A and B are shown apart, each in its own frame.
Chain A
Amino acid sequence: DARVTQTPRDKVTEMGQEVTMRCQPILGHNTVFWYRQTMMQGLELLAYFRNRAPLDDSGMPKDRFSAEMPDATLATLKIQPSEPRDSAVYFCASGFPPQGNTEAFFGQGTRLTVV
């Protein structure tokens, strides 16, 4: 049963600390997305990759956020230093294999709380 796996599920950290969130996309999916969801803003696109190459990270605060795909099985989202306003649920999604127009599948999310 193919699924997108995100770790950790929950993270509580102090302001100023570095936070790293990890995502294992579904094998064969060539597009990986990072979203942030809050009650006020809904599901915001932070960055996305195609074939591991970053295509658009315009939704991400560049001074503190960074997203990478060191290999096809791992995508990371880092926040350094973290701030209370970064508290949100961060979702990773993968989809759009080359052979078909299928949907994007979401991981269970990382609930981040910065205190």
Chain B
Amino acid sequence: GQNIDQPTEMTATEGAIVQINCTYQTSGFNGLFWYQQHAGEAPTFLSYNVLDGLEEKGRFSSFLSRSKGYSYLLLKELQMKDSASYLCAVRALTGGGNKLTFGTGTQLKVEL
């Protein structure tokens, strides 16, 4: 099976930097995704890592260490609109397909 852990809640200040961590245990690892979900909406894709290292995309960066089963999402220059739930998801090759399992999400609150 798969086990994905991330903090339940975080609070940060507008303009600051926040790092959201995710640890996972899985067999057949085939990539890690971060999604953003605003209240009442569907999750939307933010980033994807399959190799170790840092992927940067504008104000968002994501890091992966496969040996440690660890990833983080880094959000810079926080804006009020970044208040949302951030979901870590692990893709695993299993039974002939790619299974995508999500953590329970980290609710980020950005304050003035």
- Interface of A toward B, CB cutoff 8 Å: 31, 33, 35, 41-43, 45, 48, 50, 55-56, 91, 93, 95-96, 101, 103-109
Contact between chains at A45 and B101 (CB < 8 Å):
yes
Q: Least Cβ distance of B41 to chain A in Å?
A: 8
Contact between chains at B98 and A43 (CB < 8 Å):
no
- Interface of B toward A, CB cutoff 8 Å: 31, 33, 41-45, 48, 50, 87, 91, 94-105
Please, which residue of chain A has its CB at the minimum distance from the CB of B104? A42
How far does the alpha carbon of A33 sit from the alpha carbon of B45 in the complex, in Å? 15
Please, which residue of chain A has its CB at the minimum distance from the CB of B98? A96
Q: Least Cβ distance of B4 to chain A in Å?
A: 10
Contact between chains at B97 and A42 (CB < 8 Å):
no
- Can you give 14 contacting A-B residue pairs, CB < 8 Å? A31-B97, A33-B100, A42-B87, A43-B43, A45-B101, A45-B102, A48-B99, A48-B100, A55-B95, A55-B97, A95-B100, A101-B50, A103-B33, A104-B33
* Chain B residues within 8 Å of A104, by CB: 33, 45, 100
A interface SS class:
strand
Assess A101 versus B99: contact at CB under 8 Å? Given A106-B44, A107-B42. no
* Chain A residues within 8 Å of B33, by CB: 103-104
Contact between chains at A43 and B99 (CB < 8 Å):
no
* Chain A residues within 8 Å of B45, by CB: 103-105
* Chain B residues within 8 Å of A56, by CB: 94-95, 97, 99
* Chain B residues within 8 Å of A42, by CB: 87, 102-105
Please, which residue of chain B has its CB at the minimum distance from the CB of A55? B97
Q: A101-B50, A103-B33 are in contact. List 5 more A-B contacts (CB 8 A).
A: A42-B104, A42-B105, A55-B95, A103-B48, A106-B44
* Chain B residues within 8 Å of A33, by CB: 100
How far does the alpha carbon of A109 sit from the alpha carbon of B43 in the complex, in Å? 10
Please, which residue of chain A has its CB at the minimum distance from the CB of B41? A108
Assess A43 versus B48: contact at CB under 8 Å? Given A31-B97, A56-B94. no
Partner of A108, one of B42, B97, B101: B42
Please, which residue of chain B has its CB at the minimum distance from the CB of A43? B102
Contact between chains at B96 and A106 (CB < 8 Å):
no
